[in-house]
Structures are given as structure tokens and as C-alpha cells.
Amino acid sequence: MKAHILQHVPFEGPGHIGDWLAARGADIGSTRFWEAPVLPDPAAVDVLVVMGGPMSVNDEAEFPWLVAEKRFIAEVVARGRPVLGICLGAQLIASAHGARVHRNADKEIGWFEVAASGAEHDAEEAPPCFPFPAQATVLHWHGETFELPAGARLLASSAACRNQAFQLGARTIGLQFHLEMTESSLRAIVDNCRGELVPARWIQDEATILGRAGAHFAATHALMDGLLEWLTRD
């Protein structure tokens, strides 16, 4: 398995996703856009993971490599390879397929619940949908949201943001939230983005975010494992 990770900033790495890939003997490559925006041949990618970041998909003037990145994502999706987008990564998948990405009504930062949309009960002719659990408490860290790309199915929503997870075709899933966080990766994003932790309805403080993490990591990692197994199934 040749996996490729698109990483936008040093402090938002693959976390538990990297552990899952390494445990399965994957050949893991990466593009670190802050170092060099060099993308591989799409035909050489078996699994693509698109990570988060503090920039917007609309910041093409400031980050011109976003144009090539979106084109690359669309090419890998078109090849039917498993593609997973996390937060900004989900927004990039949406944008690469013509959907609008814009500011959400509220920033959502912290451990909040998402609920399944019931997309697995769609028409029989549609590709099977990932069986998202009825409810899950997950880590959020976003101020923007995405519209669903044409043909995508909504998998999950939260009280603060309707479009939390979607599936496009049979092998592409975008998650607005973070299942991949580990103790070290959560600490890294808090250390680099704590300026966003201002009092608001859907923003928890640093102590709450870090203090609740241990109670949720096992469940979020198990959900991440199940999703990756499902995406990469034969």
C-alpha cells in the first residue's frame, strides 16, 4: 500500500492515522506544503490522506499551491482510490469538486457530539455508505464549513455545524472533525492555535479540551480504525 499524506503545517500531522498505516506496512510518502509543494504522480497513490491546517481553501492568492493541490485531489478521487480528508482536508475535497467553502455561523472548538445522518439507508443503487455511529463525541477545531459536493451524501452533523462528514462515491470521505488526534498532536494544535480559544458558545477552554481528551481517545481511534479499514477494503 502506497499512502500519501498532504500536510499543510508542521503541527497538524497524521497522528493516529500514521500509526494505522505503519502497522499495516504501508509505504508512506508526504507532501509538506510549508517546505516544498511537490506532489507525486496521482497514479502512484493507493491511499490519500489530506490533513488540516489554519488556512482557508479560498486563500489561493496567499498559498498558490492550493490550486495544484485541489487538482491533484480531484485526480486521485477520479481514479477511485481511497481518499480521506480531515478538517481543512474535507474542505479541500469539497472545493476540488465545485462546492463552496465559507465561514460557519459559529467557530466550533472542543469535544462536542456529532450524530449520524442516516445516509446508510440511501437508495439501493448508491454505493454503500460508511456506517457512521448514531452518536460520537469528537474533537472539533474549525471556523469554516463546506457545502456538499454534487452527488455526496451527508454522514454526520453537529448542533453547531450541519455538514460534519460526507461520502463522495464509494471511496472518498471528508470529516470536518479530528479522529486522528493523539496526546502529542492535540498538545501541538493547542500550543499553536490557543489564540482562537476565546469564550463562545461552541469553544471550550484549553483546560477542558486537554482534560477531556483521555476519556475520548480510545473511542475516536477505534472509529478512525474502522473508517480506514472500510475505505481500504477489497
Q: Tell me which residues are annotated as active site.
A: 87, 178, 180
Q: Do 54 and 193 meet the contact criterion of CB atoms below 8 Å apart?
A: yes
Joined together, the cell numbers standing for residue 33 give 506544503
Joined together, the cell numbers standing for residue 111 give 469535544
DSSP labels, 161-230 = -S--EEEETTTEEEESSBS---HHHHHHHHHHHGGG--SBTTB--HHHHHHHHHHHHHHHHHHHHHHHHH
DSSP H/E element including 81: none
**Cβ neighbours of residue 120 closer than 8 Å, sequence gap 6 or more:** 128, 129, 130, 131, 132
Query: H-type helices in 79-128, by residue range?
Result: 88-96
Q: Do 220 and 179 meet the contact criterion of CB atoms below 8 Å apart?
A: yes
